[in-house]
Structure 1
C-alpha cells in the first residue's frame, strides 16, 4: 500500500482528512500526521512516504518551504497542496516545486480522492517506466572528430573540462576560443545537431547519471559537481532529458 502523511495546522481539518477518507479503497495507509512544516519534514524523513497531503499556510514552516527543503535533499515524494487562499501565486509556487495537485479548502465531495488517485497513478506509471527500461535513456554523446571543425572540437573539449562551472555558457566558450558567439553557435549547431547549451546540458546529465550509479553520492552533491547551484533546477533538467528524476534513477541503480 502507498504510505501517506497528512500535514495541516488545523487539527479538525487534518483529522477530518484522515478519518473521513476511505484510504483502503485508494490502496493507501496514513502513516503519520503533522501540524506544521518542521514536523512534516521529520515525519517524511522517518517514514519515507509516497504521498503528502499538505496545507500551504502553516506556522513555523509553511508547506512550500518544507517542499523546497525536501526537493533540495533530492526527495521526490508526491505532494497535494491544500489551501484556503485562492491567489494563483500560491498555485504557481506549488507547481514549480513539482507538486502533483493543488486544492482549495473546503474541497468538494470526491475532489481529494480524485487528486490522490491521479497522483498515485502518475507515480505508478513512473515506476513501471523504470521497471521496463532496460537501457540507459540518454545515448552516449559521440562526435566524429574527422567531420568537425577545429572550433567545434575545441568547444567540445572545453565543455568536457568545464561542465562543472555553473557559469559555463556560449559567451564564455566563444571568448576562450577567440570567436564570436554567433559564429560558434551557428557552426556548432550545423556540425553536431545540438545547440551549445543543449550539448552542455547533455554532458552534465551523462556525467550525473554516472555519479548517481554510486548510491553514496547524494543528489545535491551530484548537482553541484555537474554545475547546478539549484537542486530543483537540476532535478527538473534531469527528468526532462533522462525521463526520470535523479532519485528514481539512483533507486533503479541500487
Structure 2
C-alpha cells in the first residue's frame, strides 16, 4: 500500500522543523511528511504528489495560507486542511472554514493539540475518500437493478452467480443451467425483471469490479482484464472506454 502524504507549509524555519519532527515521530513511517516554506513551493509539491492532508500557516510572504487553499481548490485538489495561525480574528477562521479547513489552531499549538488535529483530519479524509471511491466505482444502473430485482428467484440467483464467477467466461447457457431454466426462457425472464439483457448485466458487473481493482490495487491493465473475465486486454480496454468514456489507464490516474 502506498503511504498517504502530509504537507506542512510554514515560512518560519524553526517552526517548520519542529512540526516536521513532531509529525515524523508520531507517524513512525506510516505517512510521507513533506515541508514547504511558502505557498508557491507547496503548489509545486501538489503538482508532483497527491497531498492528503495540508497543515499550513496563514501568514506567509508571496502566497499566504488562504491563497494557497484557494489555488488548490481551484485545481480541484481533494485534500483536507488544518490551519495554523497567530491570528484569532473571526474573519480568518470564517474564510478558512469556507475553503474546507477542518481545524484552526492558534500558534503556538502544543504537540498534543497538533497531533489530535492531524488525526481527526486524517479520519475525515479517509471517510471522504471512501465516499468518493464508492461513487466512482458504483454503476448506478447496476445498483438499481440489484436493489429492485426480487429478493428470491432465478434472476436474483443468476445475478449472485455472475457476481461470484466474474473472472470466468459466463455464457447465458451456463447461467441458465445453474438456475435450472431453459436458456431462451431465462433470457426473456432476465430482461423482463432486470430491465437489461443478460449480456449487459455481465458487462456492467465486470466493469464495476474492474474499476474497483484499478482504484484499489496496483494490478496492471492486463491483470485487471484477466481478473474480470476478459481474455484480451485489447477487448477489455475497448469495452471500458465505451461505457466509461476513458481508457482504464486514464481512469486509474484520476485523483
In the superposition, the TM-score normalised over structure 1's length comes to 0.51
Q: 1:93 to 1:128 in 2, by over 3 A?
A: same
Larger Rg: 2
2:95 corresponds in structure 1 to 93
Larger RCO, structure (CA 8 Å, separation 6 or more): 1
Out of 51, 54, 57, the position equivalent to 1:55 is 57
Out of 100, 107, 126, the position equivalent to 1:124 is 126
Deviations 1:203-240 (A, max 9, x none): xxxxxxxxxx6569xxxxxxxxxxxxxxxxxxxxxxxx
Deviations 1:31-57 (A, max 9, x none): x22111111111111122111110010
Q: Size of the alignment, in residue pairs?
A: 147
1:35 corresponds in structure 2 to 37
Asked if 1:15 is matched to 2:17, the reply is: yes
Deviations 1:41-99 (A, max 9, x none): 11111122111110010001101011111111111211111001111111111110011
Out of 33, 44, 47, the position equivalent to 1:45 is 47
In the superposition, the TM-score normalised over structure 2's length comes to 0.51
Asked if 1:104 is matched to 2:110, the reply is: no
In structure 1, what is the Cα distance between the partners aligned to 2:78 and 2:71?
11
The aligned runs of 1:139-178 (5 Å cut-off) are none
Q: Is residue 80–residue 101 contact of structure 1 (8 Å, CA) maintained in 2?
A: yes
SS at match of 1:110: helix
Q: 1:127 to 1:83 in 2, by over 3 A?
A: same
Offset, 1:24: 2.2
In structure 1, what is the Cα distance between the partners aligned to 2:47 and 2:6?
13
Offset, 1:109: 3.5
Q: 1:26 to 1:95 in 2, by over 3 A?
A: farther
Q: 1:85 to 1:126 in 2, by over 3 A?
A: same
1:175 corresponds in structure 2 to none
In structure 1, what is the Cα distance between the partners aligned to 2:254 and 2:45?
26
Q: Is residue 26–residue 117 contact of structure 1 (8 Å, CA) maintained in 2?
A: no
Q: 1:46 to 1:33 in 2, by over 3 A?
A: same
In structure 2, what is the Cα distance between the partners aligned to 1:40 and 1:95?
20
In structure 2, what is the Cα distance between the partners aligned to 1:106 and 1:253?
37
In structure 2, what is the Cα distance between the partners aligned to 1:47 and 1:117?
20
Q: 1:109 to 1:5 in 2, by over 3 A?
A: closer
The answer for unaligned runs of 5 or more in structure 2 is: 145-243
In structure 2, what is the Cα distance between the partners aligned to 1:60 and 1:214?
40
2:27 corresponds in structure 1 to 24
Question: Superposition RMSD on alpha carbons, in Å?
Answer: 2.9
In structure 2, what is the Cα distance between the partners aligned to 1:214 and 1:93?
37
Offset, 1:128: 2.3
The answer for unaligned runs of 5 or more in structure 1 is: 141-212, 217-249
Offset, 1:124: 1.1
In structure 1, what is the Cα distance between the partners aligned to 2:29 and 2:42?
22
Asked if 1:68 is matched to 2:77, the reply is: no
SS at match of 2:101: coil
